[in-house]
Amino acid sequence: MDIRRVGLDELDEVMDLYDDGRRALAALGIDQWQNGRPSREMIESDIRNEELFSYDEDGARLGCIMLTMRGDENYDLLEDGAWETPGTASSPDYLTIHRVVTDSRQARRGVASRMLAAAEEYGRVHGARSVRVDTHPGNVRMQGLLAKLGYRHCGRFFLQNSPEATTERWAYEKLL
């Protein structure tokens, strides 16, 4: 298992992986990522900010994940629940996970579980008290994975200024 930062020279290959993820979500009837997001510009920004990581095994990229210690303003808008930790966008004490994607040929083989375990270790090393992640309300597979890995459903929020058809997101947190 290896998680490493993605370089700009890998952008085309990484975009192919996100396109594959977009098709996989569509096949499940989930409207997330069906509007061209994450865009090439978003992924390039993640790479330039050194926040996009590749999950590799035996030299092959099996997935990508965005990890940041910067707070997420959407998380300050949580409804119908509460976070486990008091961190806010302006004073984060948590690791944020976004844009989790696995190669569809690796579906149901534990890749996402191993990738999230690597992300949790990254959070520990960088002093995070917890890990926060959100998912589309229709993404039952991700919800099940998060529950299996000990993440607690903390509530929901609605993405601000998003072109996504469904802006509702379910929020999860795991203490480290």
Q: Which of 75-89, 145-159, 162-176 shows the lowest mean pLDDT across its residues? A: 162-176
Q: Which two tokens stand for residue 89?
A: 């966008």
Q: Is the pLDDT of residue 43 over 90?
A: yes
| pLDDT tens per residue across span 82-97 | 999 999 999 999 999 9
Q: Is the pLDDT of residue 12 over 70?
A: yes
More confident residue, 58 or 127: 127
Q: What pLDDT, on the 0 to 100 scale, is given for residue 107?
A: 79
Please give the full DSSP string across 28-95, using - where no structure is assigned.
Answer: TT--TTTTSPSPHHHHHHHHHTT-EEEEEETTEEEEEEEEESS--GGGGG-BSS--SS---SSS--EE
Q: What pLDDT, on the 0 to 100 scale, is given for residue 160?
A: 86
Q: Is the pLDDT of residue 1 over 70?
A: no
**Locate tokens 């298992």: which residue?**
1
Average pLDDT over residues 42-52: 98
Cα 52 to Cα 66: distance, rounded to the nearest angstrom: 4
CATH number of 2-175: 3.40.630.30
- pLDDT bin (cut points 50, 70, 90) of residue 41 is very high
Closest residue by Cα to residue 75 from 173, 176, 9: 173
Helix (H, G, I), strand (E, B) or coil at 126: coil
